Amino acid sequence: MPVDEEKVAPTSVDIFDQSLGTEEVEINPDANFFTFPPPLPESGNPYRVKILRGQKGWMSYPGKDGKPGYLATDLELRTIAPGDDKKDDKPLFDNFASTMVMQSTHMSKVGGIIKAIYETRNQGEVLPAKTTHADLARLLQAEFDKESEVGVVIQWEAYCEACSDEKKRVVVKGEKRFPQLEDGTHSSELPHGPCGSTLSAQAKVVRYVALK
């Protein structure tokens, strides 16, 4: 979606006015506006990507139970697969990566991403064991600025609005669960059993990994 699109207020019109809308447009009559390009296949995992900051950018979140807050950003990733038109220069999105340290791993997602970038670059860089939320965010921002390379693992995911409510989020995960096509690939559209809605798969980034 272009963000720099000029914002001009629309006006009410009479579409039978002869002076109106004479600019020619070209369309493909065979195209279907209501289908989305299928996501990248999981069989390409792990994908080599360039890492960029998302459109939303860095946000500050208050911590839970009075604990200090943390920082988070969205990410945009672009696949690198020279010579493979189907897999090269495709966008992937990650809506949320934070500096919040998980008790189970003593690591934050932002830290994990930086680590995977360092290991991919293989120049002996290591994460600082003692740091601050801001310093970790700045380290990752420095990698966005350089459009550093890293590996990502994706998984197809489709959210069912009809089956979800405030308490429960119903999501179908994994390309295997989408209908197989004759050529062995999977359709990105799934008729959801419980409700009959058609769900569309999106590629969700589930892991960042070091690539050699």
195 near Zn ion, judged by CB under 5 A: yes
**Is 185:41 a contact under the CB 8 Å cutoff?**
yes
**Residue with Cβ nearer Zn ion (97 or 160):** 160
Which listed residue (50, 78, 115, 192) binds Zn ion by CB under 5 A? Answer: 192
200 near Zn ion, judged by CB under 5 A: no
Question: Which residues, in sequence order, are bridge partners of residue 151?
Answer: 48, 209
Which segments within 54-90 are labelled E, that is strand? 59-61, 70-79
Q: CB 160 → Zn ion: shortest distance, Å?
A: 3
Q: Which residues contact 181 (CB under 8 A, 6 or more apart)?
A: 187
Report the site for Zn ion in 126-185 (rule: CB under 5 A). Answer: 160, 162-163
Strands 47-53 and 59-61: unpaired
**Residue with Cβ nearer Zn ion (5 or 165):** 165
- x-or-dash string of contact with Zn ion, 57-96, rule CB under 5 A: ----------------------------------------
Q: What is the rounded end-to-end Cα distance, in angstroms, of the chain? A: 33
Whole-angstrom Cα distance, residue 39 to residue 189? 11
Q: CB 172 → Zn ion: shortest distance, Å?
A: 8
71-87 residues labelled b (16+ CB within 10 A) or e (exposed):
bbbbbbbbbbbeeeeeb
**Residue with Cβ nearer Zn ion (52 or 172):** 172
Q: CB 171 → Zn ion: shortest distance, Å?
A: 10
**Residue with Cβ nearer Zn ion (56 or 169):** 169
Instruction: Select the span of 16-24, 37-45, 63-71, 188-196 touching Zn ion (CB under 5 A).
Output: 188-196
**Is 178:166 a contact under the CB 8 Å cutoff?**
no
- The amino acid occupying position 118 is Y
**Residue with Cβ nearer Zn ion (37 or 194):** 194
Would you call 77 helix, strand, or coil by DSSP? strand
**Residue with Cβ nearer Zn ion (26 or 165):** 165
Residues forming contacts to Zn ion in the complex (CB under 5 A) are 160, 162-163, 192, 194-195, 197
